[in-house]
Amino acid sequence: MDLFDGIVESEPRNIQLAPGAMLLSGFARPFEVPLIEAVHTIVARAPFRHLVTPGGHRMSVAMTNSGAVGWISDRTGYRYDAIDPHSGQPWPPMPAVFAEIAAQAAAKAGFADFHPEACLINRYEPGAKLSLHQDKDELDFRQPIVSVSLGLPATFLFGGLNRTDRTARYRLTHGDVVVWGGPARLAYHGVMPLPDGEHPLLGRQRINLTFRKTR
Q: Report pLDDT digits (tens) over 61-103.
A: 999 999 999 999 999 999 999 999 999 999 999 999 999 999 9
Integer Cα distance of 50 and 70 in angstroms: 14
User: What is the structure's pLDDT at 2?
Assistant: 43
Q: Name the percent of the chain lying above pLDDT 70.
A: 94
55 within some domain: yes
* Residue 7, domain member (yes or no): no
- Structure confidence at residue 105 as a pLDDT band (50, 70, 90): very high
Strands (E), 5-68: 14-18, 21-24, 62-67
* Residue 12 confidence (pLDDT): 52
Higher pLDDT, residue 4 or 215: 215
Residue 184 has pLDDT above 70, yes or no: yes
Number of domains in the chain: 1
Please name which of 88, 68, 70 lies closest in space to residue 80, comparing C-alpha atoms: 70
What's residue 33's pLDDT? Answer: 98
Q: Kindly give the pairing relationship between strand 70-74 and strand 77-81.
A: antiparallel
**pLDDT tens digits along 198-213:** 999 999 999 999 999 9
For residue 149, the domain's CATH number is 2.60.120.590
Q: Is residue 5 a part of any domain in this protein?
A: no
Tell me, yes or no, whether 146 lies in a domain: yes
pLDDT value of position 21: 98
13: pLDDT confidence band, cut at 50, 70 and 90? Answer: confident
Close Cβ partners of 157 (under 8 Å, ≥ 6 residues apart):
132, 167, 168, 169, 188, 189, 190, 191, 192
Range of the domain at 113: 17-212
Mean pLDDT of the chain: 94
Residue 210 to residue 207: CA distance in whole angstroms: 10
Sign of CA dihedral 122, 44, 196, 17: positive
Task: Let me know if residue 132 belongs to a domain.
Answer: yes
Domain-embedded: residue 10? no
pLDDT in tens, 19-52: 999 999 999 999 999 999 999 999 999 999 999 9
Is residue 163 in a domain?
yes
